[in-house]
Amino acid sequence: MKIGCFISQFTLEGGSIVVGDATKYNDLAKCAVDSFKKFHPEVELHYVNDTNFMEYYEKYFQSYELVDHIGIVRYMLAYDIMLKEKYDKLIVLGCDTITCSKLDEFINGTEDVLTTLNYPCQESTDYFTTPIFEIYPGVYDHGNINADVVCFNNINAFKKVIDLATEHFTVFAEQGALNELAWVDKSYSVKVIDFPYPTSNVSYNARSKGVFGTNMIKKGMLAKHGSLDGQPSPIKHWYVNDKKLYTHDHKQIKCFHYVEGLTGRSMDEFNEIMDDFKHHWFNQETIKFFSEECGCSKFFNYIQQQQQQQQQQQQQQQ
């Protein structure tokens, strides 16, 4: 079986390629790339950024015309890579993800499209409404699919998603198309890997955060939670067991996705949340796991922190 992975970090403006702006994601993207490689050295990885986009564009981009939406263009390019390289399976990851384990459910899954959960909220357009299911009496879950952690096993299903994204364009773009395919169109088989979340043993996307949307974690504490504001976020309660990372509710984190609407933030906001990610969101056990097991030590300044701790210990001993 021939498997590929696609991670992108390039800039698009007005339907044209522009250079430079996406470089603010460099640190995040290095984590996404290095962590995926760490657990999947056998998979061919296509990391597309501003420095090599034109090379990829000229070599692969043949099936579509550029449109003025970075998410849809990302899917178009990934589709053409899958088509030309004749991949049996293509994993598509956002550049703000951290792979935390072998993605066995993607590698072994056979449905046409393997998807993962977005925040537990309902979203709706003229073309779809994300469903709410009663899992067992009194316990419900949202079937809201996120577009940044997905695996395509069928090239025609991939094309269908792009067609739905362009023909039924909404603010949700390719993410809306995945939800429409799964819940309305149903012309291809779609499996949501970590659904229903209450009974899932794994987390592949946003659910590990334990909150309902963006901007709900500030300095590692809950925000926009009413009386709970200022309490440690669920992320602070993650733990490691047998070199595996687990959520506060005991699900193995296979892939973590920040999901904080980074694209629409000003540079000041972006830099502020980057500082939050690096210094406030995670407990030391999690940072150690990301650094030692996922190859993300540079992002978290882990080596420097370890050296500082050793120096402090030496000083105390003196």
Label residue 272 left, alpha or beta by phi (over 0 means left) and psi (-120 to 50 means alpha). Answer: alpha
Cβ-based neighbour number of residue 111 at 10 Å: 16
Whether the CB-CB separation of 39 and 101 falls below 8 Å is answered with yes
End-to-end CA distance of the chain: 59
The conformation of residue 160, written as its DSSP 8-state character, comes to: H
Whether the CB-CB separation of 32 and 97 falls below 8 Å is answered with yes
Cβ-based neighbour number of residue 227 at 10 Å: 7
The CATH number of the domain holding residue 86 is 3.90.550.10
Q: What are the CA-CA distances from residue 278 to residues 237, 266, 274, 296, 306 (Å)?
A: 16, 18, 6, 11, 15
Query: Distance between CA atoms of 176 and 168, rounded to whole angstroms?
Result: 9
Q: Is 207 exposed, middle or buried (0-12, 13-18, 19+ CB in 10 A)?
A: buried
Biggest CA-to-CA distance, the chain: 70
Q: How many domains does the chain have?
A: 1
Q: How confident is the model at residue 19 (pLDDT cuts 50, 70, 90)?
A: very low
The model's pLDDT over 187-215, given as tens digits with 9 standing for 90+, comes to 999 999 999 999 999 999 999 999 999 99
Q: How confident is the model at residue 22 (pLDDT cuts 50, 70, 90)?
A: confident
- Tell me whether strands 89-93 and 145-152 are parallel, antiparallel or unpaired: antiparallel
The model's pLDDT over 81-117, given as tens digits with 9 standing for 90+, comes to 999 999 999 999 999 999 999 999 999 999 999 999 9
Domain membership of residue 125 as a residue range? 3-317
Can you give the pLDDT at residue 20?
45
Query: Distance between CA atoms of 248 and 235, rounded to whole angstroms?
Result: 7
Q: Label residues 145-168 b or e (16+ Cβ within 10 Å = b).
A: bbbbbbbbbbbebbbbbbebbbeb
3-state SS record for 31-76: HHHHHHHHHCCCCEEEEEECCCHHHHHHHHCCCCCCCCCHHHHHHH
The model's pLDDT over 109-141, given as tens digits with 9 standing for 90+, comes to 999 999 999 999 999 999 999 999 999 999 999
- Cα angle at 192 between 73 and 181, to 5 degrees? 50
* 307 has a pLDDT exceeding 60: no
